[in-house]
Structure formats: structure tokens, C-alpha cells
Structure 1
Amino acid sequence: MKATKRPIQAVARWLRRQPPKLKVFLAVVSGLAALFFLRMVVHDHDNLFVAAEVVHSIGISVLIYKLMKEKTCAGLSLKSQELTAIFLAVRLYCSFVMEYDIHTLLDSATLLTTLWVIYTIRFNLRSSYMEDKDNFAIYYLVIPCAVLALFIHPRTHHHIVNRVCWAFCVYLESISVLPQLQVMQNTKIVEPFTAHYVFALGVARFLGCAHWVLQVLDTRGHLLTAMGYGLWPFMVLLSEIVQTFILADFCYYYVKSVLGGQLVLRLPSGVVQTQTEFYEKLNRSPVQFRTKIEALAMAISKLFIVSLVASLLVFHLVEADQKVNSNQATGYTPGKNIDCGGACNVRCSLSSRPRLCKRACGTCCTRCNCVPQGTSGNLDTCPCYATMTTRGGRRKCP
């Protein structure tokens, strides 16, 4: 056992001596290697999202074990758990009305356990709750996410309320861990069970981000256009990446602590400070802003300006691409695939976990690389074609 630990500790010591730029480079290379490994091993990328939610559930189970065994909630952020419950409840509602599947069951189980954790912290273990450390104002997260969802959400046939709700839960999920990171930043010391929980969140987010990246690569970018036009597809991908990088710092120190044989994780003063310092400034009402509302308004204004410019550019490019496809795909020619403008698989297009259509006949859209199964590429015998409708001279999947 000692012989096994010595090479690992030697590698850990070597990494500690390297400059920050080299550490970042090695982290990127490791991430790419992990993506390549997952692409070779996992053939159905939906399994990555299932695995991500299972890992998240395991993290919640670790929290439950901590609360029941140690009878203390010290080091835990109640506000992070409340944010998690909010986005899970909204996502569960959207899942019930739009894509009832295995993810719905997993979200239900995770929401129930999260609500139990909230109840335990708020009532049973209130005396050990570090309220002075958990001082993150969550409305600085909820309000911008809600307003952003009103402007940037999926453009599908679903009701506008459902589309805005889905966008809201995607945005809120990406930053829901910030209050927990701030608690750890304030205490500087993270006990084992809390560290295991946050590391499980980091692993879950990496698997979710890997699912997205591999889907985009395998479809050669068609997945983004299949989800609709505008900035929404890119915002979903950006949310996954942001959530992964927010937890990257902590995961690095967690692995470093485990390799060094330390049970208690000690964080340097700079860890996660960059992610939370903006919101900390808002909480302290800095001199350059007369009120918190003024600071929040300025932040939202900057975000809207950037989002508006980007969405206009993306919309212009996608609209030009759709016009070209429309000229090429009007009508129906037997023996050729149908370009339905990325509208096939509309049941999944609203989700932050899109997947290609899995009907018995395959997918009826060239954007989704469809070849009807058992038809030799001839859509005359594709059962999906009979259910398609004609809109504006083009075939649309139901």
C-alpha cells in the first residue's frame, strides 16, 4: 500500500511545484483525454446524463448520512439546497408536461431527498447551522436567471410558460452551487462528508457537460440547430460549461487532498473567490454603487446588451442557413431524406439533455443524420412519413 502511495504522492508534489499555466494546460489535456475515453466506452450518450443524475443522488445520500450520523449541518449551505430544490421542482414540472421518462423519476427522487435535507437543516439541526457564514443573497441569482429566461428561451411549439420555465431551471442549475462555495470560502476548512458531496456535484456536472459536447461532435453541430434558432442552444451549452468550471477549482483541491492522505480539506484563500466576489460586492453595497438594486440593474443591463448582440448575430446566421435549406428541401422526392428544419424530435428539443429521435423507423430529418431503419434510405416505407404534416411547402415531423 505504501509503495502504491509513494508514486502518487511524488506526482502530487511535482504538480504542486509547477506554474499555474502548466497546471491549467494539464487540466485541459486531462479533460480532453477523459472526453475521448468516454466517447470510446459509452456508445449511448444518454447514459452519461443518467450517470450524472445518479452521481448527484449519491452526493445527496452522502449529505443525508452526514446529517443522520454526526447530527450537525456545520459547513452546509441551506441556500444552496433551496436553490437546488427550486430548479429541480421547475424542471420536474417541465419534465411531466413535455418529456416524461427516466429523468423524471431521477429528478423526483433527488427533489424528495433535497427537501428532506432542507427540513433537517432548518428545523432539526438549526442550532448547528452556520447562518453567519451562509450569507449569500439568493435573489441575486434567482432574479437575473428569471429575467434572462424571459428573453432567451427555446423557440418551439410548447407553451411560452413551459419554455421560460425550462430556460430558468437550466440557468439556475448552473450557478446554484455558489452559496455552498462561499460557505467553504468563509470557513476555509471543509469536513470530509461535505467535500464528498461537492466533489460528487463536480463529477455530475462533468458528465453532463461531456454528454453535451459529445452529442454536438457526433452530430457535427446539427444538434444545436435541431434545438431551434436564436441564442438558446448556445446558452444551454454555456450553462453546462460554466457549471463545470465553477466546480473545477474545488475538485482540483479535493483530488490533491485525497492523494495527500488528508481527511480534512483546507482551501487556500483564493479558491472560489473569483466566482463569488461579484455577488459578495453586491452584498456589501460597495461605494461605487449607491444601492444594491443599482448594482444589480447595471449587471443585468450589461448581460442583456451582450446577449442581445450575440442573439442577433446568431439569429441572422441561422435564418440564412434555414433559407438555403428551405430552397433545397421543398416538396418530397422518394428515396431521399427529408429536411424538416430541425423540427423532428420536438419532444426532446426543449430539454437541456437533447437526444436523437429513437422511433422504430429512425429519425426523419437530415439534420439528425436520419436513415430510416430497414428501408434502405427510402422514406416511402417509413411510418414516420405518414404522420408528418405539410407547412409552407415543407414536410414537418409531428
Structure 2
Amino acid sequence: MKATKRPIHTASTWFRRQPPQMKAFLAVACGVMALMFLRMVVHNHDNLFVAAEAVHALGISLLIYKLTKENSCAGLSLKCQELTAMFLGVRLYCSFVMEYDIHTLLDLATLGTTLWVIYMMRITLNSTYMDDKDNFAIHYVIIPCAALSFLIHPATTHHIVNRILWAFCVYLEAVSVLPQLRVMQNTKIVEPFTAHYVFALGIARFLSCAHWVLQVIDTRGRLLTALGYGLWPSMVLLSEIIQTFILADFCYYYVKSLFGGQLVLRLPSGVV
């Protein structure tokens, strides 16, 4: 066991000592290698998007298990769940009026479980909710996302309101995890189920980002044209990349903690 941990510890120590530019380069290099691997093993890249939603649903299931087993919502951000319910609700409406498919059913199931988590945190387990730690001002993300959606949205034949709402849910999803990261930043100690949930979000975001990037590569950029013209296609891709990088730092410490055999994740100062 010690022989297994020693190379991981050595690599981790070496990585921490690198300057920010080198860390960024290594992170991008790992991401590119992961994309190349997915491109080789996954032939239908639409399956990556389905897998992303399935992993998100798995993360929600871990939250439900935590709430029912421990009768506590300590360490969880209610604001994060509310933002998640908001963008899922908007996306579900847009799916019904714009393009009903399998993703609509997956979003419906995820929204239902998210609303149940919100109910448990607000009503049943409210006494264990860490209100003082969940202090992220969500209007700082809702207002900019709404303003941006008015300026940059799909240029399709659908009604202008539906196009603006679709853009809003894309932008809001990209930053919806920020309140949860703030809670973990305030507590510095993340219990297992919460860590598993956030890691699942990170994996889901990466799979979703990989779906879009590989689709653009496979179509040699024609997918961006199919999404519309102007800045909207680039904003869709940028939103996916932002979601991935927001969670990348946490996922690194999660994997490091997992290999180190730690049940509780302790975040160093400055993380997330």
C-alpha cells in the first residue's frame, strides 16, 4: 500500500511546486489526452451528453442517500440546488416547446429529484442547514446571465422569448455550482457524500464539454454553423469549458484524497 501511495505523493508534491503557468499547461494537456481517449472509445459522441446527464443524476442520488441516511444537510448549498432547479426548469420548458427528445425526460427526472432535495433542506432538515456558510449572493450570477442572454442567444426560427430563455439556462448552468464551492471554501472540510456529489458534477461537466468539443472536431466546425451565427455558437462552447474548469481544481484534490485513503476531504487555503 505504501509503495502505491509514494509515487502519487511524489507526483502531487511536484505538481504543487510548479508555477501557475505550468499547472495550467498540465491541466490542458490532461484534458486533451482525455478527449483523445474518449474520441477513440466512444463512437457515437451523442452518448457522452446522455452520460453527462446520467452522472449528474447519480450525483443527485448520492445527495438523497446522504439526506435520508444521515438526516442532515450540513455542507450542502441550498442556493446551488435552487440555481440547479432554475436552469433545469427553464431548459425543460425550452425542450418541450423547441425540441422534445430523450434529454427532456432525463431533465424531468433530474429536476424532480432536485426539487425533493430542496424540500428536504428547507422543511425536513432545515435545522441542520448551514445558512451562515451558504452566503453566496446568487443575484451576482442570475442578473449577468439574464443580461447576457438578451444580448447573445440562438438565431433560430423559434420565438424570441424561447431563444432568450434557452441562452439563459445555458449561461446559468455554467455557474450554478459556485454557491456549493463557496460553502466548501468556508468550511474547508468536505464530508464524503458532498465530495462525491461535487465530483460527479465535475465528471458530468467534462463529459458534456467533451461532447461539444468532439462534435465540433468531427464536423470540422459545421456544428457551430448549425447552432446559428454570431457569437452564440462560441458562447455555448465557452460555457461548457467554463463549467469544466470551475470544478477542475476541486476534482484534483478529490482524486488526490481518494488515492490517499482519506474519507474526509480537507481543502487547502485558496482552493475553490
Corresponding residue number in structure 2 for 1:200: 200
Equivalent in 4, 8, 11 of residue 11 of structure 1: 8
Where does the alignment leave 5 or more consecutive residues of structure 1 unmatched?
273-398
Mapped partners of 1:152, 1:211: distance in 2: 22
- Counterparts in 2 of 1:271-286, with a 5 A limit? 271-272=271-272
Give yes or no for contact 1:52–1:207 (8 Å, CA) kept in 2.
Answer: yes
The normalised TM-score by structure 1 is: 0.66
Letter in 2 for 1:12: H
Write the deviation string for residues 252-305 of structure 1: whole angstroms up to 9, x where unpaired: 000010011111001111011xxxxxxxxxxxxxxxxxxxxxxxxxxxxxxxxx
Per the alignment, residue 162 of structure 2 pairs with 162
**1:135 corresponding residue in structure 2:** 135
Note the 1:240-319 alignment, pairs <5 A.
240-272=240-272
Q: Which has the higher helix share?
A: 2
Structure 2 unaligned residues grouped into runs of 5+ = none
Q: Tell me what 2:121 maps to.
A: 121
Partner deviation per Cα, 1:181-200 (whole Å, 9 max, x = no partner):
00000000000000000000
Aligned-residue sequence identity (percent) comes to 75
Work out which structure has the larger RCO, using CA pairs closer than 8 Å and 6 or more positions apart in sequence.
2
For residues 82 and 22 of structure 1, the distance between their equivalents in structure 2, rounded to whole angstroms, comes to: 36
| Stretch moving more, 118-127 or 7-16 | 7-16
1:126-179 superposed Cα distances (whole Å, 9 cap, x missing partner): 111000000111111111111110110001100001100000000000000000
Deviations 1:304-353 (A, max 9, x none): xxxxxxxxxxxxxxxxxxxxxxxxxxxxxxxxxxxxxxxxxxxxxxxxxx
- The structure with the larger Rg is 1
Asked whether 1:217 is paired with 2:217, we answer yes
Provide the alpha-carbon RMSD of the alignment: 1.1
Distance 1:169 1:200 in 2: 20
Comparing 224-233 with 195-204, which one deviates more in the overlay?
224-233
Superposed displacement of residue 8, structure 1:
4.5
TM-score (ref. length: structure 2): 0.96
What's the CA shift string for 1:74-121, capped at 9, x where partnerless? 000000000000000000000011111110010000000000000000
Provide, for residues 14-37 of structure 1, a one-character-per-residue CA deviation record: whole Å limited to 9, x for no partner: 222331444433322221111011
Q: Displacement, 1:51?
A: 0.1
Q: CA deviation at 1:225?
A: 1.4
Quote the Cα distance in structure 2 between the aligned partners of 1:220 and 1:200.
30
1:73 CA displacement: 0.4
Distance across 2 between alignment mates of 1:61 and 1:78? 16
1:187 is matched with: 187
| Corresponding pairs, count | 269
Residue 175 in 1 paired to residue 172 in 2? no
What SS does the corresponding residue of 1:36 show, helix, strand or coil?
helix
Looking at structure 1, the residues matched to 161 and 23 of structure 2 have their Cα atoms a distance apart, in angstroms, of 44
